[in-house]
Structure formats: structure tokens, C-alpha cells
A and B are shown apart, each in its own frame.
Chain A
Amino acid sequence: GAVVSQHPSWVICKSGTSVKIECRSLDFQATTMFWYRQFPKQSLMLMATSNEGSKATYEQGVEKDKFLINHASLTLSTLTVTSAHPEDSSFYICSARAGLAGGCTDTQYFGPGTRLTVL
């Protein structure tokens, strides 16, 4: 149980285009999903917290107009990187927190990540 998927697993795009990444909790409902970014050989950095049915909460230094987050249902959150540029190239990872019925609330289950390369 507690499987989280991401789509696509990798994407290459031209500078200036927008890219949408999906995060799905496959076998549990996730009231909260988190989006992280990881640069090569670095740790995971939290970008934003996404709550179903409400606006996402962004970490300091993360542009909310650049990284649009939508959490339309209890099993789906999307991250759209708008007008992507080469410096946005990174590994984007989502995680989903199971509700009380699914286990301890502090446990986050991570997706497999999406490798974004902007040319």
C-alpha cells in the first residue's frame, strides 16, 4: 500500500514552454501533498505544501506564479512549471501524506520523481 505515482517520469522541453507534472496517490487519499525539488548531488528542498481544495503554501523563495500547484482531488496534485528556463532543470519529487485512517500522519510517501530538462 501507500503508492504514489508521478507522470511524466522525465521531460525535455524548450525554454519558455510550460510543463505540467502530475502526482497521484494510488491506494489512499491524501489531504496533503508536498512538492520538492532536488538538484544533482543535493538534498530535497521543499517547494510547497498542497492541500486539497485550498491554495498551496509556498516556501520562502519559491515563486508561486512560476510554480503553479493545483490539488483538485484527494488523489491528485499537479505542479506546472510556467515559462520554464534552463535553471528550472531539476528532479521534481512529490509526496503524499496519508490521512489518519491510513496510518501515522507524519509519514510521507514519495513519488518516483520527474526529471525536467529545459533546453
Chain B
Amino acid sequence: GQQLNQSPQSMFIQEGEDVSMNCTSSSIFNTWLWYKQEPGEGPVLLIALYKAGELTSNGRLTAQFGITRKDSFLNISASIPSDVGIYFCPTASSGDKLTFGTGTRLAVRP
């Protein structure tokens, strides 16, 4: 079956630092999405990637879809306390079903 690995599992950083996290899969995908979930809330879409090699930014966030279509990374520049949350990188399979990994938990120290 499909395996989706997120790394690191958790991060505890100082405000102002840059953050990098990634997702890898054993399968090839045509779509890769990045969501952020804050405590007690549903996930919110950050960036959607549709082409291999695609590099997309959303404010301080930058995400890239790997050339092999088996991986993706998300960078957050100059982190702030409100960046706290769990970052998920689900992929879309048949029927648009999303498969979620375990997420990367980010904590930011002011």
C-alpha cells in the first residue's frame, strides 16, 4: 500500500528561524497539497502543487513538488508564533481521496 512519510515529526524552534519540512512517498502522485491544522480546528489549505518541479509561494511559505513526483517540501521563512500547528501533506489518489501522513508538529518559542 501507499506510504506517506513526513519529516520531522516535530520541531521546536525560535521565533524568526526558518523552517523546512518534507514529505516522501513510495508512490508517484499528480497532486500534492500542504495543509496546516491548528488545535481544535480543521486543516486549512496552504499550498497546492500540480506539476513535477513546481515551486509555489504563499507569503512566507514556499513549497516544491519533487521532480520524481514522490516527494515535496515546505519551507517557512522567519517563523512567528502563529505558525504553530500541525502541517500535513496529503496526496490525492483515485476519486480525489486524500491520504494524510502523521504530520509535522511545529512549536515556535517567542
Contacts and interface: CB of A to CB of B under 8 A. Distances in A.
A42 to B, nearest CB: 8
A43 B41 contact: no
A44 B97 contact: no
B1 to A, nearest CB: 11
Given A43-B103, A107-B45, A113-B40, A34 B50 contact: no
B40 A110 contact: no
A108 B95 CA distance: 12
Contacts of A104: 48, 50
A110 B103 contact: no
Interface in A98-119: 104-113, 115
Contact of B98 (A34, A112, A113): A34
Interface string A32-64: 101000000011111001000000010000000
B52 interface: no
B96 A108 contact: yes
A71 interface: no
Interface range for B: 20 to 34
Contacts of B65: none
B96 A106 contact: yes
Interface in B91-108: 92, 95-103
Contact of B100 (A43, A49, A91): A43
B40 to A, nearest CB: 7
Given A34-B98, A44-B88, A49-B95, A106 B31 contact: yes
Interface of A: 4, 6, 32, 34, 42-46, 49, 57, 91, 93, 95, 97, 104-113, 115
